């Protein structure tokens, strides 16, 4: 018998394109929190939507499926009215509305939902938002790693009570998944393909039988713990990690797969990077000073290198590393913090090549040559066409050779 340590996760810019979390004071003490879960950050919106849409709801749901979609995708700037109150709902996920609608329908049918995609495409953030809107908490989470055990998906024991009273429901420590099962909530499993195959196999029985057997309590009412209506599970997996622990066909059949792709619009991605990096710099105690021209050049470079083709249609050799929106936010944040706190930090374009080389070298040092090829291709051509920002960047080419 083992003791289960449960872990909750929250979306961060390294794994999603979520709104940068705001700093909030914890009611339990004076310390501020770096990350506020969506059910707290957007508590006013969630309460408003519960009153706004009083239509039929699946068992255990806090909101109607339609209201869940509105919570995630926003009201398009329109102020919704509920009685004497009116409120515009902020867009939190930048992506296709149809994708979110399919996810909501999957959860309403109590089917497992698997969000797949490249790293940094907001899979974790989307799963958090969906869980918060459906059941009021995104905290029933297991972080998948090579060290994740089957007990972390099922249960452990409070050894003090176990020794004092023997096996009992009181001594059982439920996992986040078991807690979700017995309360009719949404459980989340992050990076499911990083879990060992035997751990993944435990999910097959959980999603098929919808119960957990407790052999130590056999013959008692607690020997079988059953899922109640409303329970479902959202898992995430990176396409880059498919070979870590490939999911079995049996487990795949228990999920509906949805692919979360990169942001399609340059303008939308620039706006998201601006919004997130502005909030991150504010958390660092500084004013944001990255201008639009630098942001657009940064995001354009990321998109060109990510897709292997420039906005003009020129071929670009793609680096092996993932040029995600989350990485772009990190670079924009670094530029903003540098501008605020370093003596020469105001030269944002001068710092951009160094930041980019730091990103592309993460997986393969040879990617530095690919970035240099990007400079000799699209950057040079844009400079020759008279674009001032790109002319400055072209003049900084030597910074990539160090």
Residue 295 DSSP SS3: helix
Angle, CA of 148, 39 and 133, to the nearest 5°: 90
* pLDDT per residue as tens digits for the range 337-383: 999 998 776 789 999 999 999 999 888 888 999 999 999 999 999 99
Q: Where are the beta strands (DSSP E) in 200-346?
A: 211-213, 224-226, 232-238, 255-259
Burial of 44 (0-12, 13-18, 19+ CB in 10 A): exposed
Instruction: Give per-residue pLDDT as tens, 249-308.
Output: 999 999 999 999 999 999 999 999 999 999 999 989 999 999 999 999 999 999 999 999
pLDDT in tens, 37-69: 999 999 999 999 999 999 999 999 999 999 999
- On whether the 24-259 domain is CATH 3.40.50.300, my answer is yes
Q: What is the pLDDT of residues 149-188, one digit of tens each?
A: 999 999 999 999 999 989 999 999 999 999 999 999 999 9
- pTM of the complete model: 0.87
Q: Where are the domains of the chain?
A: 24-259, 266-401
What is the SS3 string spanning 321-344? CCCCHHHHHHHHHHHHHHHHHCCC
Query: What pLDDT, in 10s, does the model give residues 204-238?
Result: 989 999 999 999 999 999 999 999 999 999 999 98
3-state secondary structure of 161: helix
């Amino acid at each position: 018998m083992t003791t289960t340590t449960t872990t909750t996760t929250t979306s961060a810019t390294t794994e999603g394109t979520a709104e940068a979390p705001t700093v909030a004071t914890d009611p339990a003490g004076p310390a501020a929190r770096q990350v506020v879960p969506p059910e707290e950050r957007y508590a006013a919106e969630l309460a408003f939507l519960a009153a706004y849409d009083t239509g039929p709801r699946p068992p255990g749901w806090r909101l109607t499926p339609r209201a869940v979609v509105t919570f995630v995708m926003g009201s398009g700037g329109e102020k919704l009215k509920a009685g004497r109150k009116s409120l515009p709902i902020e867009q939190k996920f930048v992506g296709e509305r149809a994708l979110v609608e399919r996810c909501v329908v999957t959860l309403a049918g109590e089917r497992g939902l698997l969000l797949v995609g490249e790293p940094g495409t907001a899979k974790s953030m989307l799963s958090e938002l969906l869980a918060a809107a459906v059941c009021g908490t995104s905290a029933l989470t297991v972080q998948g790693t090579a060290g994740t055990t089957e007990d972390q998906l099922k249960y452990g024991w409070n050894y003090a009570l176990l020794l004092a009273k023997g096996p009992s429901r009181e001594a059982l420590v439920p996992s986040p998944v078991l807690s979700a099962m017995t309360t009719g909530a949404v459980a989340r499993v992050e990076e499911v393909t990083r879990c060992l195959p035997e751990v993944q196999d435990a999910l097959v029985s959980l999603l098929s039988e919808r119960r957990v057997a407790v052999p130590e309590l056999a013959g008692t009412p607690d020997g079988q713990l059953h899922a109640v209506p409303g329970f479902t599970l959202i898992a995430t997996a990176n396409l880059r990690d498919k070979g870590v622990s490939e999911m079995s066909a049996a487990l795949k059949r228990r999920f509906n797969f949805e692919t979360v792709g990169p942001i399609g619009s340059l303008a939308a991605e620039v706006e998201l990077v601006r919004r997130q990096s502005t909030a991150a710099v504010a958390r660092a105690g500084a004013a944001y000073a990255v201008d639009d021209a630098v942001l657009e050049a940064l995001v354009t470079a990321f998109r060109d290198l990510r897709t292997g083709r420039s906005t003009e249609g020129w071929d670009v050799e793609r680096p092996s590393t993932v040029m995600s929106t989350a990485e772009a936010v990190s670079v924009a944040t670094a530029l903003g913090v540098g501008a605020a706190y370093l003596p020469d930090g105001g030269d944002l374009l001068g710092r951009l090549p160094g930041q980019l080389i730091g990103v592309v070298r993460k997986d393969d040092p040879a990617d530095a040559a690919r970035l240099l090829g990007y400079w000799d291709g699209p950057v040079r051509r844009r400079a020759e066409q008279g674009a001032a920002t790109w002319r400055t960047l072209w003049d900084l080419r030597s910074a990539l050779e160090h």
